[in-house]
Chain A
Amino acid sequence: MSYVIDRRLNGKNKSTVNRQRFLRRYRDHIKKAVEEAVSRRSITDMEHGEQISIPGRDIDEPVLHHGRGGKQTVVHPGNKEFTAGEHIARPQGGGGGGKGPGKAGNSGEGMDEFVFQITQEEFLEFMFEDLELPNLVKRNLTGTDTYKTVRAGISNEGNPSRINIIRTLRSAHARRIALSGSSRAKLKEAKAELDRLRREEPDNFGDIQEVEAEIQRLSTRIHRVPFLDTFDLKYNLLVKHPSPSSKAVMFCLMDVSGSMTQATKDIAKRFFILLYLFLKRNYDKIEVVFIRHHTSAREVDEEEFFYSRETGGTIVSSALKLMQEIMAERYPTNEWNIYAAQASDGDNWNDDSPICREILTKQIMPFVQYYTYVEITPREHQALWFEYERIGESFADTFAQQQLVSAGDIYPVFRELFQRRLAT
């Protein structure tokens, strides 16, 4: 007797735990591979996983077995020309081990590396492993997944604990009136008729009996309308709203003056994207504001931010002023976590740098979670860098600046900037 069972709907990820165990065991290998991959691949393709390979010998499970050598006799199929007692030359690369002549061709294909695929999720997990935005904890006490339950009216469905009794009885009442209205009117008439008959024609038993039967019939009909029907039940409706603390805004500030080449902008872009990906994992809702500036600043969309060309001098404070205005207007600090990343080649109109420090210190730094400044230049630092260094001194926890030279520097610098710190 056989039973056929459909198991297709059973969980299909029975191996998840074992897979996690494996990743856990080889986390050092994987992390190294991930770090290499990050510096190699362009940041725009962070959207897929990575192939990890681990040297086979690190992963083998040892067992007691025979090694090569000694005297071994092995039977093979498919003889063509050999005769008993014949001596044949040892094939190259075979080196004994009981491998017949045919094995020689295959011996080069040994699997030296154990190669497997990790998902994008896992990839980013490894990449961000000990990175954590400083002060994240502070503003983000409730966590990203907290919701507030809010009343949102009445619904016809729900669970019994949420029954709204007043509404329910009201609708039951209305239904009873609607269903029994005509019967009640007739009943009233019949009762009046009975009274009249009793009063005026007490001997007319036939009619009285008839009216009494009618009254009986009508009242049973009225009684048949149920007091409460499932149809009447009303429930309080509750919906979840994400709590506002899981919102973040990221300001991207970039110098687009003539001195910034496309290559420099590309490096800046990668830095911004990395920051964006990082925030995405920590906040439900992220808005990005792009501000570009030369001598004056403008809020633009992403495309224009990275790719349109501008020329002219550089006044950094214009961008900072604009950022401050946007913050005040659209992103109240009690609702938004504000992050800012500024990229520049370090050029600024010299008299402007102290103004920048002024704006940052007074109007921006007190309100942002974190402000990063990357200077993409192989040259000597200029006034702006030194002014920013002074800001760094007064806002050590929330301000960071780094210098980048090539795309390969981004990841180490990124790690450096967001190195896990103890939340204070």
Chain B
Amino acid sequence: MTAKEQKRQPLSTGSEWTFELIQAYDREISRIAERYALDTYPNQIEVITAEQMMDAYASVGMPLGYHHWSYGKHFLSTEKSYTRGQMGLAYEIVINSDPCIAYLMEENTICMQALVVAHACYGHNSFFKGNYLFRTWTDASSIIDYLVFAKQYIMQCEERHGIDAVEDLLDSCHALMNYGVDRYKRPYPISAEEERRRQKDREEHLQKQINDLWRTIPKSADKNSERDNARFPAEPQENILYFIEKHAPLLEPWQREVVRIVRKIAQYFYPQRQTQVMNEGWATFWHYTLMNDLYDEGLVTDGFMMEFLQSHTSVVYQPGFDSPYYNGINPYALGFAMYRDIRRMCEHPTDEDRHWFPDIAGSDWLSTIKFAMSSFKDESFILQYLSPQVIRDLKLFSILDDDQRDDLLVPAIHDEPGYRTIRETLAAQYNLGNREPNVQIWSIDRRGDRSLTLRHQQHDRKPLGESTDEVLKHLHRLWGFDIHLDTLQGDQLVKTHHVPPKTEHSEGDYGRLDLAVVHL
């Protein structure tokens, strides 16, 4: 008679999970997800232990990675904080692959398992499949194969050239990993088959090209001299690792291949770094929606729902700037708030919404939210969709910190004149181009000392961090000859770095550095 009586039996009442139960929940969640037409890869749900979760953690989310000490370091620190109870393990890790692999931890209750299934297997999964960055930059069907190839290749290199040689090379590549991506060019999707097939040809071909570039035999006629003296590369190169792979004079073919592997893996992670807010927000929005639907259908108990809400609220908790727990803006909180707000604007628009978002207000929420998910990255997503409502809810304000002034300025807060400024500032904050210094390869001295010159275009006088010299040493190891880095503010040269340091040019803050040993 009443709604309660029409409800179906709950799937489970206790907190223990079984494989049958996980399957039952997955079936129901999948049925509801279909109602929203979420397009996903097939799911492969793997149940693992806490130790295995730590392993997965340590390999920064790659289901299998090559061996490197830095992963060991990661593992040790995870292990330490976990065994001391300072940190719970992540509930889930999900891999952008086809089928989409999600890890569930053995220790969790059935409620958490269901939450993770909804979050990872339907939230993240549909994001991986739908978002344009992932579609352009990664090939979900081949990533596992490629990682297997990379692992084997690096293992072979270790056998052939020794662990130290490979480790040094990887250290140097890792230092430049964030500069191993073409930001503006669409890359080729990576595929293990292709790689293996072409690797041999490439080795020979590459070496030939390099020899050509560094040819020292004098040309018979002078007609080439003009081309010869032209700056190389003709355009500044943002993809430093690519440049190294193609043009470093001293690297052996296997070393170029390793550079390439690191570069390809950087490329695989590139979309993830640009869609943190969107991706987590999307997954959180869907686990919230799907779990509530389960509850509305009477498939889960009240206790289950309380447990779910408890973890959900702690995931989307945003401490204020003055809280001791404050550690920047929580991407889960921001993303979740924004997707919820888009839905609200579609379903219950206010006058303000109609004024700010005439296209969205009152439209079909599902297609609007899917469009938002598929066509943006964090920066543009915030610029497009951050509404006054969310700004007010989170009480966002900005702080201008200028080192030439004694005090800080509050340029904008969550009020009518401030909304646009806040939105633009926050969006810029998620622009990778702003977050990372703009360093590009400017030129190489082909006919002289073969030195490599980089240019850092400074923005708002933001200096380079203190590990810059270390990074340059790594670059020096890869390049094999002198490295210069010029920092420019506009057209004005403000600071230079050199490896090895120029002694006659001694600048006060530049101590004598030991040369990185070239083991290569």
Contacts and interface: CB of A to CB of B under 8 A. Distances in A.
Contacts of B121: 2
B73 A114 contact: yes
B47 A7 contact: yes
B408 A87 contact: yes
A76 B52 contact: no
Nearest to B63: A14
A79 B397 contact: yes
Interface string A132-159: 0000000000000000000000000000
B511 interface: no
A73 B399 contact: yes
Interface residues of A, number: 67
B22, B47, B55, B394: most-surrounded residue (chain A CB, <10 A): B55
A379 interface: no
A67 to B, nearest CB: 4
Contacts of A84: 410-413, 415, 417-418
A101 interface: yes
B265 to A, nearest CB: 15
Interface string A48-86: 000000000001111111111111111111111011111
Contacts of B326: 76, 78, 102-103, 106
B235 interface: no
B437 A64 contact: yes
B491 interface: no
A2 B79 CA distance: 31
Interface string B145-163: 0000000000000000001
Interface in A102-132: 102-103, 105-106, 114-117
A63 B318 contact: no
A396 interface: no
A18 B460 contact: no
Given A18-B58, A64-B439, A2 B403 contact: no
A73 B400 CA distance: 4
Interface residues on B, range: 35 or more
A14 to B, nearest CB: 4
Contacts of A354: none
Interface in A252-297: none
Given A65-B437, A78-B323, A78-B394, A59 B55 contact: no
A69 B462 contact: yes
Contacts of B412: 84
Contacts of A18: 58-59, 67-72, 75
B76 A116 contact: yes
Interface in B430-466: 435-437, 439, 458-466
A17 interface: yes
A4 to B, nearest CB: 5
Contacts of B394: 77-78
A2 to B, nearest CB: 4
Interface string A363-395: 000000000000000000000000000000000
B408 A101 contact: yes
Contacts of A59: 73
Nearest to B22: A4
Given A3-B45, A14-B55, A21 B72 contact: yes
A1 B26 CA distance: 9
A4 B396 CA distance: 42
A71 B461 contact: yes
B464 A15 contact: no
A62 B199 CA distance: 30
A24 interface: yes
Given A65-B467, A116-B80, A82 B410 contact: yes
B45 A2 contact: yes
Interface stretch (B173-181, B207-215, B221-229): B173-181
Interface in A5-33: 5-8, 10, 12-15, 17-25
A88 B411 CA distance: 11
B319 interface: yes
A72 to B, nearest CB: 5
B415 A117 contact: no
B321 A102 contact: yes
Contacts of A313: none
Nearest to B71: A18
B499 interface: no
B408 A22 contact: no
19 contacts: A3-B43, A3-B44, A12-B55, A14-B55, A22-B76, A64-B439, A65-B436, A66-B435, A66-B465, A67-B463, A71-B462, A73-B399, A75-B396, A75-B398, A76-B326, A78-B323, A83-B410, A87-B408, A103-B326
Q: Which 9 A-B residue pairs are closest in the complex by CB-CB distance?
A: A78-B320, A22-B72, A62-B470, A62-B467, A18-B72, A70-B462, A70-B461, A102-B321, A2-B43
Interface of B: 19, 22-23, 26, 30, 42-49, 51-52, 54-56, 58-59, 67-73, 75-77, 79-80, 83, 99, 103, 106, 117, 121, 163, 167, 171, 174-179, 318-324, 326-327, 329, 394-404, 406-415, 417-418, 422, 425-426, 428-429, 435-437, 439, 458-468, 470-471, 474
